[in-house]
Amino acid sequence: MAPSGPRPALPALLVLLAALLPGPGDAQTSVSPQVVILPRGGSVLVNCSSSCDQSPFLGLETPLTKREVLPGGNNWKMFELSNVQEDSQPICFSNCGGRQSTAKTFLTVYWTPERVELAPLPAWQPVGENLTLRCQVEGGAPRANLTVVLLRGEEELSRQPVPQLGEPAEVTVTVLAGRNDHGANFSCRTELDLRSQGLELFENISAPHQLQTFVLPETPPQLLGPWVLEVDTQGTVVCSLDGLFPVSEAQVHLALGDQKLNHTITYGFDSLSAKASVKGTAEEEGTQRLFCAVILGNQSQETRKTVTVYSFPVPKVILSEPEVSEGTEVIVKCEAHPRAMVMLNGVPAQTLGPRAQLRLKARPEDDGRNFSCSATLEVAGQVVHKNQTRELRVLYGPQLDEKDCPRNWTWPENSQQTPTCQAWGNPSPQLKCLKDGTLALPIGKSVTVTRDLAGTYLCRATSTRGEVTCEVTVNVVNLPSPQYVMVIIALVVTAAVLGTAGIAIYLYNRQRKIRKYRLQQAQNGTPMKPITQATPP
Ligand SMILES: *[C@@H]1O[C@H](CO)[C@@H](O)[C@H](O)[C@H]1NC(C)=O
Ligand SMILES: *[C@@H]1O[C@H](CO)[C@@H](O)[C@H](O)[C@H]1NC(C)=O
Ligand SMILES: *[C@@H]1O[C@H](CO)[C@@H](O)[C@H](O)[C@H]1NC(C)=O
Ligand SMILES: *[C@@H]1O[C@H](CO)[C@@H](O)[C@H](O)[C@H]1NC(C)=O
Ligand SMILES: *[C@@H]1O[C@H](CO)[C@@H](O)[C@H](O)[C@H]1NC(C)=O
Ligand SMILES: *[C@@H]1O[C@H](CO)[C@@H](O)[C@H](O)[C@H]1NC(C)=O
Ligand SMILES: *[C@@H]1O[C@H](CO)[C@@H](O)[C@H](O)[C@H]1NC(C)=O
Ligand SMILES: *[C@@H]1O[C@H](CO)[C@@H](O)[C@H](O)[C@H]1NC(C)=O
Ligand SMILES: *[C@@H]1O[C@H](CO)[C@@H](O)[C@H](O)[C@H]1NC(C)=O
Ligand SMILES: *[C@@H]1O[C@H](CO)[C@@H](O)[C@H](O)[C@H]1NC(C)=O
């Protein structure tokens, strides 16, 4: 090759000019149309012509399927190019007088993408985290005129050209997920804009994907429940959490040990509360794990607590005999759970523990006396109580005490009275008070006292344990009748009124005489003097 420099370049440039510029007498090749845009797989007619006067040799150089459309003209030929799959530049050539000239036509193939797809979204997207939307576009040409639009519903989030390279081509956009994105449909759309080429705007849209966003706070749920639970009793467990979105999608899992609890959920505006009842069973005795999880989206918040399931039978009060005769010795025992502490009638056992006892000689006062055994047990730091009470029956009597059956009644005639007499004993004695062996004293009933009621009655209390008797006397006294008393009161009042009136009249008359005397002195011309001096000596 020639050494480098501007000089050797000159001949090459001249050759190029000779080829491009028509020299005098030089024939030229032309092609029509020079620029074609056609759909993929389409056909086009290309007219190659020459300015040559003589019959030129015309041809079209292309790898495409071509067919000459007959008849052509003297200096032109028509070719049909079919099934054009991609961009191509066929070259028309003509030979005129041993000289060849060429002309290029530019074929641009267009087609809409074969696949437009939004990559699957996460099933659940936490609010406040970035979400990347990916749109994949397969095919489509010309890429220079192909745009991808990412959409939330109808709203355009981003508009980007499709990269020239890459199959499928991917366009991404990152959005910050919010609460209002919950339930929103995301999609992407391609736009092949060929309007400047006299064609239209071709749009293809992907299938929509619905997004679910959620908020699950960082705090664990609050778990309330019984921390000690007696076997065969029920307790209520409540698990709650605030600040959830969307609260209706939140789920709760509640379990005691391996046993799933059946709960009911109450929803608030952004909170929920799950309630379940737990039952202690004998198999679960000991410490059990109470577990609550609130599940939202693909996350969960959990709380664990321990529940102690215990059994604590009621302490027993054992009476050596529940029913004894007066004077018998009775042993009262109190027995409870081996780990419990008992108190019998409020008195702790001498050796602190689950047993206590006391002895007593049964007295009538002990009939109906209650013996109570109360036990306390410590379970997981909590003290639980239980008690049992039994009643002692003492057989005694019958008894007729003067306190409850007075021996002497003195009642005014015609007054209302209720004779009372109470006989004591277990079993309850029968009581009858009779005068002359036939007339009964109406015990416990209100009666009008008459002379007939007076007399001495023999009261007899009878039970299976024997009988006792006493005498009760009723005295009836004659007091003035109420009408008589009223007449006396009326007379006394009248006398008092008359007496008072007499004194009043006397005083009035005396006063009047004094006034008259003073008036006379004034008329006699004597000057007015104090009354004391005016009084005559
Ligand atoms: C092809 O081109 C030539 C030269 O421009 C013209 O004379 C001829 O009519 C064209 N043929 C057709 C079929 O249009
Ligand atoms: C793309 O849209 C065009 C019309 O704009 C349609 O003819 C073509 O079938 C669509 N392509 C796909 C893959 O849906
Ligand atoms: C929840 O889903 C997100 C997005 O799909 C993921 O990044 C995260 O690791 C998931 N979290 C859990 C606990 O599975
Ligand atoms: C989300 O992405 C933007 C940039 O796209 C970044 O500035 C922001 O810090 C990201 N936010 C989170 C929470 O990751
Ligand atoms: C299509 O692409 C061509 C070539 O890059 C460009 O000249 C033309 O302006 C584009 N048309 C549109 C509508 O973008
Ligand atoms: C999203 O699409 C689903 C069905 O594809 C429809 O039921 C729902 O209403 C749409 N959501 C919105 C916000 O348009
Ligand atoms: C849970 O509750 C439902 C209805 O209240 C009841 O039909 C079902 O038997 C319960 N399941 C258990 C394990 O208790
Ligand atoms: C003993 O208990 C019974 C029932 O618990 C009660 O009716 C009775 O009055 C009690 N006796 C005493 C003396 O407190
Ligand atoms: C005994 O138990 C009953 C019921 O369990 C309770 O109401 C009562 O207060 C208890 N008595 C004592 C003294 O603890
Ligand atoms: C009963 O009472 C009356 C008057 O109160 C008295 O005079 C009489 O002596 C009493 N009788 C007896 C037996 O105590």
pLDDT bucket at 457, cuts 50 / 70 / 90: very high
Tell me, in angstroms, the distance from the centre of ligand 1 to residue 79's CA.
Answer: 12
User: Which of 187, 210, 213 most suits a substitution to test ligand 6, by most atoms within 8 Å of the C-beta?
Assistant: 210
Tell me, in angstroms, the distance from the centre of ligand 1 to residue 209's CA.
Answer: 54
What domains are there in the chain, each with its CATH number? Answer: 27-110 (2.60.40.10), 115-214 (2.60.40.10), 222-309 (2.60.40.10), 316-396 (2.60.40.10), 400-477 (2.60.40.10)
Residue 335 clears pLDDT 80, i.e. is over it: yes
Strand 125-126 to strand 213-214: parallel, antiparallel, or no bridges (unpaired)?
A: parallel
The ligand 8 atom nearest the CA atom of 369:
13
Alpha carbon of 487 to those of 95, 477, 491, 494, 497: distances in Å?
171, 21, 6, 11, 15
Determine the Cα–Cα distance for residues 360 and 138; give it in Å rounded to an integer. 103
Residue 185 clears pLDDT 70, i.e. is over it: yes
Selected residue with higher pLDDT from 19 and 474? 474
pLDDT bucket at 530, cuts 50 / 70 / 90: very low
Query: Is residue 202 lining ligand 2, measured as CB closer than 6 Å?
Result: yes
Residue 16 clears pLDDT 50, i.e. is over it: no
Q: Name, of 38-42, 348-352, 480-484, 508-512, the range with top average pLDDT.
A: 38-42
> What mean pLDDT comes out for the span 290-295?
95
Residue 435 clears pLDDT 60, i.e. is over it: yes
Instruction: Tell me the pLDDT of the chain averaged across its residues.
Output: 88
| CA-nearest residue, atom 9 of ligand 5 | 196
The ligand 4 atom nearest the CA atom of 174:
5
pLDDT bucket at 510, cuts 50 / 70 / 90: confident
Tell me, in angstroms, the distance from the centre of ligand 3 to residue 215's CA.
Answer: 13
* Minimum mean pLDDT range among 45-59, 166-180, 182-196, 518-532: 518-532
Residue whose structure tokens are 């193939």: 109
- Tell me if 215 sits within 8 A of 297, measured CB to CB: no
Query: Is residue 145 lining ligand 5, measured as CB closer than 6 Å?
Result: yes
Q: Give the three-class secondary structure for 184.
A: coil
Q: Angle 81-84-89 (CA atoms, 0-180°, nearest 5)?
A: 75
Residue 237 clears pLDDT 50, i.e. is over it: yes
| CA-nearest residue, atom 13 of ligand 4 | 129
- Tell me if 30 sits within 8 A of 49, measured CB to CB: yes
Tell me, in angstroms, the distance from the centre of ligand 9 to residue 387's CA.
Answer: 6
Ligand nearest to the CA of 141: 5
pLDDT of residue 96: 87
Render pLDDT for 70-111 as a digit per residue (tens, 0 to 9).
888 888 999 999 999 999 999 999 998 888 999 999 999 999
* Minimum mean pLDDT range among 211-225, 251-265, 313-327, 501-515: 501-515
Residue 13 clears pLDDT 70, i.e. is over it: no
pLDDT of residue 523: 59
pLDDT of residue 524: 62
pLDDT of residue 18: 41
The torsion angles phi and psi of 268, rounded to 5 degrees, stand at: -105, -165
Determine the Cα–Cα distance for residues 175 and 475; give it in Å rounded to an integer. 111
SS (H, E, C) 185-207: EEEEEEEEECHHHCCCEEEEECC
The ligand 4 atom nearest the CA atom of 130:
1
Q: Angle 100-105-110 (CA atoms, 0-180°, nearest 5)?
A: 160
Determine the Cα–Cα distance for residues 150 and 187; give it in Å rounded to an integer. 6
Continuous segment of H or E residues that includes residue 238: strand 234-241
pTM of the shown model: 0.65
pLDDT bucket at 490, cuts 50 / 70 / 90: confident
pLDDT bucket at 516, cuts 50 / 70 / 90: low
> What mean pLDDT comes out for the span 255-260?
91
The ligand 8 atom nearest the CA atom of 370:
1
The ligand 5 atom nearest the CA atom of 196:
13
Strand 42-50 to strand 76-84: parallel, antiparallel, or no bridges (unpaired)?
A: antiparallel
Ligand nearest to the CA of 372: 9
- Tell me if 33 sits within 8 A of 105, measured CB to CB: yes
Which residues, including other chains, have CB under 8 Å from residue 436's CB and lie 6 or more apart?
A: 455
User: Which of 385, 386, 389 most suits a substitution to test ligand 9, by most atoms within 8 Å of the C-beta?
Assistant: 385
| CA-nearest residue, atom 10 of ligand 8 | 370
Ligand nearest to the CA of 182: 6
Query: Is residue 35 lining ligand 5, measured as CB closer than 6 Å?
Result: no
pLDDT bucket at 517, cuts 50 / 70 / 90: low
- Whether omega before 63 lies within 30 degrees of 0, making that bond cis, reads no
pLDDT of residue 518: 63
Tell me, in angstroms, the distance from the centre of ligand 1 to residue 54's CA.
Answer: 16
pLDDT of residue 249: 93
pLDDT of residue 194: 95
User: Which of 145, 193, 195 most suits a substitution to test ligand 5, by most atoms within 8 Å of the C-beta?
Assistant: 145
| CA-nearest residue, atom 1 of ligand 10 | 408
Tell me, in angstroms, the distance from the centre of ligand 1 to residue 72's CA.
Answer: 9
* Minimum mean pLDDT range among 213-217, 271-275, 356-360, 484-488: 484-488
Q: How buried is 208 (Cβ within 10 angstroms: 0-12 exposed, 13-18 middle, 19+ buried)? A: middle
Structure tokens given for 480: 């003035």
Render pLDDT for 103-124 as a digit per residue (tens, 0 to 9).
999 999 999 999 999 999 999 9
